[in-house]
Amino acid sequence: MLLSTKRLFLAATLLLLAVPVLAAAPPDSTAFSVEAATQHYLNSLTAAQKASSDAYFEGGYWLQLWSMLYGLGLAAVFLKLGLSRRLTAWTQRLPGKVLPTLAYIALYLLLAHVLSYPLDIYVSYFREHQYGLSNQSFGEWLTDDLKSLALSVVIGSVVVLILYAAIRRTGRRWWVWATGLVGIIMVVAVFLSPIFISPLFNKYTPLPAGPMRSQILSMARANGVPADNVYLVDASRQSKRISANVSGLGSTIRVSLNDNLLNRCTPAEVQAVMGHELGHYVLNHIPKMLIFLVLIIGLGLGLVDWAFHRLLGRYGPGWGISSIGDVTGLPLVVALFGVFTFLAQPGFNTIIRTQEQEADVFGLNAARQPDGFASTAIKLSEYRKINPTPLEEAIFFDHPSGHTRVLTAMRWKAEHLGK
Ligand SMILES: [Zn+2]
């Protein structure tokens, strides 16, 4: 009670002191307006640029639905048309217990990939060219695609085999064990990917010497990030997109700036992006994201188990599936998980977007380049709608929209610079 009276008194005194000062301040016609500065940046896009970016991004909303439905269609081919049953019959002729299951999984992954080509080639090749975002010829695209197919068949088969071994040993609680296993596998994959997987697709080199490198490394040191963890990646092999990322875990963690960023952006813009990436690094976003992901996957697998058993009684005999441990049911597990990820997407987007917002604010404080950050946000609108409604941003955006980013930058500028 005493404390709050004291506080009230203090507040009243401050107010009395402040009021005359406020009243005495002359109106400042040259004051920096956050709203006007934000609008100025948004207006720098032409109507045609905005229309193209909106169309590209909004088309992506529908593609999420189409690819989920495509996945259900694929499951129908495997289950209703009997492809899965036939695969099981072929692979059962192989000797031993492990080999038939492994062969089924590898063949399923291969066939599912090939049967997805009509949608995949449209989405990641033709559509990217249509919007001028890709640098690849079809041959180059296919080479990259075949590399990832080989990876997914080799690594995926082993991972799914381990999961089926867990399912068969642990009964209805399989999904709890499977979640733990997926967690361990993900940690190992994230740890190894900068060393073994990313170099299969791109070349990672140290940043070239020069003033840019000195500025970037100095900012890295100022934020406790070792300088030898900053790389340049030749992303222009695949695309025209400006980007940068943090990958790896523990001793393999690194920040990679892509060459499009270095070639298409000013030093202030590169510093702004680098500040953002350092934010991901310093705020431990990768380990935190892994924890979220494992929890979401656990929830998904629990729901898959529930739905699988509801369908098993009715359709199991017709589809040739005897139990959840029967690998013939893999297409059903994949389809159900696909429906789950489709429904969970807004939640997942929000988790990522929240981290991205944290990194944005960290980056503004670290790089002190609000205009560099704002103009980069405008450049990113090549592939991300610049000014969505708040609801649209909450549901579909895994990064803050250009509008949100420019506004954040201009507010920061108003409060930190020019005073
Ligand atoms: Zn980010």
pLDDT in tens, 90-124: 999 999 989 999 999 999 999 999 999 999 999 99
What percent of the chain clears pLDDT 90, i.e. is strictly above it? Answer: 75
Q: Over 70: is that where the pLDDT of 396 sits?
A: yes
Confidence of residue 10 (pLDDT cuts 50, 70, 90): very low
Cα–ligand 1 centroid distance for 234 (angstroms): 18
Confidence of residue 189 (pLDDT cuts 50, 70, 90): very high
Confidence of residue 230 (pLDDT cuts 50, 70, 90): confident
Q: Quote the CA–CA distance of 68 and 341 in Å, as a whole number.
A: 9
Confidence of residue 185 (pLDDT cuts 50, 70, 90): very high
Cα–ligand 1 centroid distance for 131 (angstroms): 23
Lowest mean pLDDT among 16-30, 60-74, 171-185: 16-30
Amino acid 14: pLDDT:
41
Cα–ligand 1 centroid distance for 354 (angstroms): 10
Residue pair 319/308 in contact by the 8 Å Cβ criterion: no
Strand order across the 230-233 sheet? 204-206, 230-233, 254-258, 244-247
Confidence of residue 28 (pLDDT cuts 50, 70, 90): low
Q: Over 90: is that where the pLDDT of 71 sits?
A: yes
Residue pair 322/316 in contact by the 8 Å Cβ criterion: yes
pLDDT in tens, 368-379: 999 999 999 999
pLDDT in tens, 198-228: 999 999 998 888 888 888 889 989 998 887 7
Arithmetic mean of pLDDT, 279-285 = 94
pLDDT in tens, 132-168: 989 899 999 999 999 999 999 999 999 999 999 989 9
Cα–ligand 1 centroid distance for 358 (angstroms): 9
Cα–ligand 1 centroid distance for 240 (angstroms): 18
Cα–ligand 1 centroid distance for 241 (angstroms): 14
Give all strands (DSSP E) within 17-109, no chain letters.
none
Cα–ligand 1 centroid distance for 276 (angstroms): 6
Cα–ligand 1 centroid distance for 49 (angstroms): 23
What percent of the chain clears pLDDT 70, i.e. is strictly above it? Answer: 92
Cα–ligand 1 centroid distance for 96 (angstroms): 47
Cα–ligand 1 centroid distance for 258 (angstroms): 13
Q: What is the largest CA-CA distance in the chain?
A: 92
Amino acid 419: pLDDT:
52
pLDDT in tens, 301-340: 999 999 999 999 999 999 999 999 999 999 999 999 999 9
Q: Quote the CA–CA distance of 382 and 52 in Å, as a whole number.
A: 8
Q: Over 50: is that where the pLDDT of 3 sits?
A: no
Question: Who's near 16: CB < 8 A, 6+ residues apart?
Answer: none
Amino acid 417: pLDDT:
78
Q: Quote the CA–CA distance of 337 and 343 in Å, as a whole number.
A: 10
Cα–ligand 1 centroid distance for 277 (angstroms): 6
Amino acid 214: pLDDT:
87
